[in-house]
């Protein structure tokens, strides 16, 4: 059985550490992303108070009446802003939609960058003003943490430390607040209906703020499912397909899923908040020359981040 390497790393040792500490962090995250695609991160810049406030707001949002939530589902945005209702997203290769509903918040450009015109506005929740301010604060803090993590990854890959900086500044990142709703009648479920079918993320890296219940599992290299559990305030960070393409599979976009709870817990909700760190849509995802050799031939066609995102949104049913 293969060893599952999910180290717990302190981001502060990369941001403020000695040269030796910074190199150790970079080596550790690179090794884990090469082997399992997952790490957990401490000292990431989000206080427990902010995380608790976020989850309070998220729970209140999804407790709103269905007719209120439905008015925030905007046709034509492919779920990229505002509310997406139940039975809308289907994992690639699955026929039954995931058992979830979600709300997505995108980039807020504040520095006059003309890219602002290419992004739809975020949807404001009239009934819950604090939701809008809290999620914006969380978005910016996770974006900052993600930028530092990408710098550590750049060093591991032998790239300039700031390789990703201009690509993710004002990037197309998404903060998703998720509600895996109670399963009131388990016997009525199709056999393959799960909270989140096995999938890989589309983006560069994903930063997940815990969850209100267990259920996240990753697929190991020996093809077994392994539960991923974070300490209370840690972030779970994993590689997405864009980074896998860019590194010609040197860094691993690991298949993961959210399984249904034991039957006696099915009437409980589960909440989670992942941040999908995307670059600007113009970023070239052509595999880095340094990741291609005789033992590792080029695996992917050349594509931009925007083209790849569009392709994947169609595959999972969010875009027609």
For the segment 219-242, the average pLDDT, to the nearest whole number, is 89
Q: What is the Cα–Cα distance from 40 to 50, expressed in whole angstroms?
A: 18
In the block, tokens 């992303």 appear at 33
Window from 82-86, 161-165, 195-199, 239-243 with minimum mean pLDDT: 195-199
**Dihedral angle of Cα 133, 215, 8, 13, to the nearest 10 degrees:** -10
CA distance 82 to 145: 24
pLDDT above 60 for 43:
yes
pLDDT in tens, 45-90: 999 999 999 999 999 999 999 999 999 999 888 889 999 999 888 8
- How remote is the C-alpha of 158 from its chain's centroid? 25
Per-residue burial over 63-91, b if 16 or more Cβ lie within 10 Å, else e, is ebeeeebeebbeeebbbbbbbbeeebbbb
Q: What is the pLDDT averaged over residues 96-124?
A: 94
């Amino acid at each position: 059985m293969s060893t599952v390497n999910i180290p717990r790393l302190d981001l502060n040792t990369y941001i403020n550490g000695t040269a030796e500490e910074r190199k150790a962090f970079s080596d550790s995250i690179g090794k884990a992303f090469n082997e399992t695609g997952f790490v957990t991160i401490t000292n990431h810049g989000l206080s427990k108070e902010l995380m608790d406030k976020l989850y309070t707001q998220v729970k209140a949002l999804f407790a709103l009446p269905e007719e209120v939530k439905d008015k925030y589902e905007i046709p034509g945005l492919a779920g990229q802003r505002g509310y997406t209702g139940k039975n809308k997203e289907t994992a690639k290769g699955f026929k039954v939609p995931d058992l979830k509903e979600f709300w997505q918040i995108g980039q807020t450009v504040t520095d006059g960058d003309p890219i602002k015109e290419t992004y739809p506005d975020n949807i404001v929740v009239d009934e819950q003003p604090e939701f809008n301010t809290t999620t914006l604060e969380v978005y910016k803090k996770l974006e900052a943490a993600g930028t530092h993590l990408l710098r550590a990854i750049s060093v591991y890959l032998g790239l300039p430390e700031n390789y990703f900086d201009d690509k993710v500044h004002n990037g197309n990142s998404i903060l998703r607040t998720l509600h895996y709703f109670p399963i009131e009648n388990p016997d009525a479920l199709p056999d393959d209906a799960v909270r989140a079918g096995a999938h890989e993320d589309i983006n560069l890296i994903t930063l997940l703020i815990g969850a209100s219940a267990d259920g996240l599992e990753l697929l190991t290299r020996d093809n077994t499912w392994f539960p991923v559990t974070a300490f209370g305030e840690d972030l779970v960070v994993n590689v997405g397909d864009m980074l896998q393409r860019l590194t010609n599979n040197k860094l691993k976009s690991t298949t993961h899923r959210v399984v249904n709870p034991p039957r006696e817990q099915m009437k409980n909700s589960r909440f989670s908040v992942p941040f999908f760190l995307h670059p600007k849509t113009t970023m070239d995802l052509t595999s880095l020359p340094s990741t291609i050799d005789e033992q590792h031939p080029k695996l992917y066609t050349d594509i931009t981040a925007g083209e790849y995102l569009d392709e994947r949104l169609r595959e999972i049913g969010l875009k027609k």
